[in-house]
Structure 1
């Protein structure tokens, strides 16, 4: 009996102790419950089939269930078929290995059907028999973290693929990061440790003092500095002009220690282009010809020194003028038409006359090019003073005309030669084709020769003439009549058979003119002038 009382007392004591422990546990659970319910992570318990046994507030919101009403809810219903099969395969593998923990990413839909990336951290609880009894799951929404990771990778790729030198360094000047473009610029490999290359060593010695005394203190005081300096490559020592944009990133922006950052641009190509542009500018400014730039409405936007010299205006005055103020020959309408032609043909060359400030004019040759820059249209004109050329052309034309006149006179004398064979007889041998112009020349030369030599007989030898038409024959007849008025007579020699036939067919009357078959017989007859005269008078009767 006494033993039973002892046991009962012991049981009461143990029971009281258990009640106290339960009270402490309930108190601790009550204290932890707000943290469990208010955490953003999803905490839930499911059985092996996925049926929900417990869910905190965040899990209930995602699954769309009310408190104490989750017994009929399957967590797998909020997963796609592929995701559910993936979890089942993971659980099967974990159970086979008799492991207690498994972690995987799952695409899980909320009550609105929107999919979210969740990180499932599962603790597997087994029954005494070794079978899976239930799972305790902590799920964290990874959607924003995934977005942040994607943004970070995007910005990292942006930095790595940038053509500018981008780097970070500690406040003491020790490099922390340098992108690919920076490594290439400084002749460093991708594997080379950049921390051994202090920022100050990137500059040429002449710029290092300025950087230490001015640039870096300015960055620390004002937060940034930008200007041109010269870098020096680590391998070849080549000097590189750069635009150094260096600035301070405070701790609240980096999430850690403050750093000095830089976005540095290689100015080598820009400097080369600027030098080329400067040379081109000097070439234009010092060109001997006038060079003008203008807009399509004719406004002058650039004029070189030659333009000022040739036109008498200052360069500032020219920039207030238009093309119409310079062109003496062209009206506004004509210049408008030329501008349209330039737009269509891209390049046009023409001659005109320019007007100087003093009112004098001078001839010019203008070559105009049509150009576009950034969608704007421009005219680029080269203007050459051609006064000397025009004078030379005029002198050359006058000289050429003199030569032509002399040649014409020589040809005239050669084509209608007048040869005296005695004091009273002259011969004019004709060769080639005789047209109306040459026939008229024959008449003029014949009359002048008869009068000049006071001849009484003029022999026209047409042995070398291939054809005579009516008009030419009439000229011969008129020539004979005109010579007769001068007191002389005409003898035609060397008439070819085909010409004789043509004259007969044309009905040409050669009465009043002496004829001989050949020049030889004609000369022989001429030397017997009295006999010829008798024949002539007989023919006249």
Structure 2
């Protein structure tokens, strides 16, 4: 080997080697030690196949046998064990000079460390596989999937949009997304989207989206933005599902509850007719501000609608009558009197009578009876003048 060749051999960054038919290295340049950590003598001390990864040995021996049969190798990769126990991928080019005597023939080989290339290729393969999986999930998902950019356009929309609303993904991405939102929901929707682009990471909300046939469907959204992304490239990632049927059932339930509430309120302050001129309103339970207002409203509306002449307010079932309730009963009696009806108050307990007296209220126009039976009997018999009041 000439001096120049010797220097190239010594300083080459590539791994240079010769090996005999028995599988032992002969000539090795210093790059081997720099790459694998083994000294050159350690590499020569045993068959080179012992340094090869067990999974790559069969293929390596096959390639070596082929070389001694006259084939050349333009590129063959295998893993060599480093002195620290790790492995490095080596990319090989090799050949055998078939002109020499068979027992003197050597493999002339050069290799480079391709570990980083292999790792990048494996990572790329994993990413590509993952991207393929996500693309398929994106296409087959029954959920509505989108990405939204800062300009207010959907960047991506999956086929489920067409199945749900009738719009193709191309139509969904062709104009500002807010144009698909019900006009009554746009202000709240823009506020939610703005909050995401201003740093809020996740939101959940419902809004209505226009279908291609002109109807609307309720969508329940979960949306997320990765704040770590480059601000100029940030996207909102959103998923939604159709909750129209749920909203309809909920609306029906709310309407049913409202009717039930109205019925219960009517039952809590009923006007029970005794004759076409006499009604009884039994008051039961606890009175609060809403209930007091309801008592007056039911009594006044009932008198006006039926031209009743006598309203018997039976307070026997009230748990408590404080000054507020007592004052409200007096106000109700006065209002009924203005409509031409007299009020008979029955079921008063002594403590309640004291409350009424202590308030100093004007009780003119209110009759009192100790029991409901006596009040009804009194009313049926024609009663006394509305101006008379039984002494308390």
Question: TM-score, with normalisation over the residues of structure 2?
Answer: 0.60
Match of 1:261 in 2: 111
Q: What SS does structure 2 have at the residue aligned with 1:460? A: strand
Residue number among 170, 175, 183 corresponding to 2:18 in the alignment: 170
Residue number among 341, 344, 350 corresponding to 1:491 in the alignment: 344
Aligned Cα RMSD in Å? 5.3
Would you say how many aligned residue pairs link Structure 1 and Structure 2? 334
For 1:42-65, what per-residue CA distance to the aligned partner results, in whole angstroms no more than 9, with x for missing partners?
xxxxxxxxxxxxxxxxxxxxxxxx
Q: Does the 8 A contact of 2:311 with 2:343 survive in 1?
A: yes
Q: What SS does structure 2 have at the residue aligned with 1:345? A: coil
Q: What SS does structure 2 have at the residue aligned with 1:282? A: helix
Q: Does the 8 A contact of 2:196 with 2:236 survive in 1?
A: no
Match of 2:97 in 1: none
For 1:10-52, what per-residue CA distance to the aligned partner results, in whole angstroms no more than 9, with x for missing partners?
xxxxxxxxxxxxxxxxxxxxxxxxxxxxxxxxxxxxxxxxxxx
Residue 259 of structure 2 corresponds to residue 405 of structure 1: yes
Please report how far the alpha carbon of residue 196 of structure 1 lies from its aligned counterpart in structure 2 after TM superposition.
Answer: 0.8
Question: TM-score, with normalisation over the residues of structure 1?
Answer: 0.47
Instruction: Within 5 Å, give how 1:454-533 maps onto structure 2.
Output: 458-463=311-316, 464=318, 466-467=321-322, 468-480=325-337, 482=339, 484=341, 490-497=343-350, 499-504=352-357, 508-516=361-369, 518-519=370-371, 523-524=373-374, 526-527=376-377, 533=382
More off after superposition, 489-498 vs 335-344: 335-344
Match of 2:197 in 1: 342
For 1:255-284, what per-residue CA distance to the aligned partner results, in whole angstroms no more than 9, with x for missing partners?
xx9750221325496255554454444333
Residue number among 221, 231, 234 corresponding to 1:378 in the alignment: 234
Cα 1:193–1:450 shift into 2, 3 Å: farther
Match of 2:104 in 1: none
For structure 2, the 5+ residue unaligned runs are: 1-6, 82-86, 95-106
Cα 1:205–1:357 shift into 2, 3 Å: farther
Mapped partners of 1:534, 1:314: distance in 2: 79
Match of 1:438 in 2: 295
Cα 1:167–1:322 shift into 2, 3 Å: farther
Match of 1:369 in 2: 225
Please report how far the alpha carbon of residue 466 of structure 1 lies from its aligned counterpart in structure 2 after TM superposition.
Answer: 0.3
Q: What SS does structure 2 have at the residue aligned with 1:170? A: strand
Q: Does the 8 A contact of 1:291 with 1:383 survive in 2?
A: yes
Residue 51 of structure 2 corresponds to residue 196 of structure 1: no
Instruction: Within 5 Å, give how 1:139-218 maps onto structure 2.
Output: 167-170=15-18, 175=25, 176=28, 178=32, 196-198=47-49, 203=56, 205=58, 217=72
Match of 1:116 in 2: none
Larger relative contact order, structure 1 or 2 (CA cutoff 8 Å, min sep 6): 2
Residue number among 161, 168, 176 corresponding to 1:324 in the alignment: 176
Q: Does the 8 A contact of 2:139 with 2:159 survive in 1?
A: yes
Instruction: Within 5 Å, give how 1:347-362 maps onto structure 2.
Output: 347-354=202-209, 362=217
For 1:347-375, what per-residue CA distance to the aligned partner results, in whole angstroms no more than 9, with x for missing partners?
33444455667877644335132254578
Please report how far the alpha carbon of residue 413 of structure 1 lies from its aligned counterpart in structure 2 after TM superposition.
Answer: 1.7
Q: What SS does structure 2 have at the residue aligned with 1:435? A: helix
Q: Does the 8 A contact of 1:415 with 1:430 survive in 2?
A: yes
Instruction: Within 5 Å, give how 1:382-397 maps onto structure 2.
Output: 382-386=238-242, 389-397=243-251
Cα 1:493–1:480 shift into 2, 3 Å: farther
Q: What SS does structure 2 have at the residue aligned with 1:261? A: strand
Q: What SS does structure 2 have at the residue aligned with 1:478? A: helix
Which of these two proteins has the greater Rg computed from alpha carbons? Answer: 1
For 1:469-513, what per-residue CA distance to the aligned partner results, in whole angstroms no more than 9, with x for missing partners?
5454122133255464xxxx5422233455445545655443444
